Amino acid sequence: MAVKNGFFSGKPERTETGDDVFRMVFDRIQTGILIIEPLTHTIIDANPIAEELLGRKKSELVGSVCHDFVCPAKCGECPITDLHADIRNIERALINARGEKIPVLKTVAKAEVGGKEYLIESFIDIIDRKKSEERRVALIAYLNEALMRAKKPLEMMQQNLQALATRVMSGEYDHEEIRMQLQLTANNMGQVAQNLEDLSRQAVEERDDIPSAFKEFIIRK
């Protein structure tokens, strides 16, 4: 089985041989896959998803050393062949052709093909999951800050209103004083609402993943 710009060479036969089925799965699976020669750590094949995630064509990848694209380890310190580590669904980051970090779940397994052992390195893009986690953390932070801004003023207003209610029940009160206390409480409630609006506007302005129409609505509100 010759290697020629990819793991398999030659035109597929009309009947579906094992090689044909492998190539079909290899090209269509929605997981990035690199096939690596373990002695030289040379990439000998890459599927379309690997090309897409790394932002490089197969012709750039095949024949190159895997350390240059998907593994930060130095030569002689390969986690698989040198350190004999088990790499299975471990979170790592790929660096694509634009220098961007792409978070992935990475697995490396040994496989024998045609009587020779190879490393099959696969990686699944988890950038959407990471973004969801970041949004969740940002939401928790926003809610905590909103609670801190509102809790103390609301507790003070509650105490004031309870004190007013006690005085009214006892009959010891002045109408003007009660009116002023109620007006002060109303003003404080308005300030709490304004603080929460300002916090919401600030949070929206700092996020790049919020639809522009909703962002504009919040900012101008």
Greater pLDDT, 37 or 214 = 37
Percent of the chain with pLDDT over 70: 76
Q: Model confidence over 126-151: pLDDT tens digits? A: 888 877 777 777 777 777 777 777 88
Q: Which of residues 94, 125, 156 is at a domain's end?
A: 125
Which pLDDT value is given to residue 190? 82
Q: Model confidence over 156-191: pLDDT tens digits? A: 888 888 888 887 887 776 778 788 888 888 888 888
Three-state SS string over the chain comes to CCCCCCCCCCCCCCCCCHHHHHHHHHHHCCCEEEEEECCCCEEEEECHHHHHHHCCCHHHHCCCEHHHCCCCCCCCCCCCCCCCCCCCCEEEEEECCCCCEEEEEEEEEEEEECCEEEEEEEEEECHHHHHHHHHHHHHHHHHHHHHHHHHHHHHHHHHHHHHHHHHHHHCCCCHHHHHHHHHHHHHHHHHHHHHHHHHHHHHHHHCCCCCHHHHHHHHHC
Specify if 65 maps to a domain. Answer: yes
Domain count, the chain: 2
Q: Which of residues 93, 125, 157 is at a domain's end?
A: 125
Same domain assignment for residues 63 and 92:
yes
Residue 76 has pLDDT above 60, yes or no: no
Specify if 114 maps to a domain. Answer: yes
Instruction: Write the CATH number for 85.
Output: 3.30.450.20
Mean pLDDT for 2-20 is 51
Same domain assignment for residues 120 and 185:
no
Same domain assignment for residues 183 and 116:
no
Q: Which of residues 125, 146, 178 is at a domain's end?
A: 125
Domain that holds residue 206: 129-220
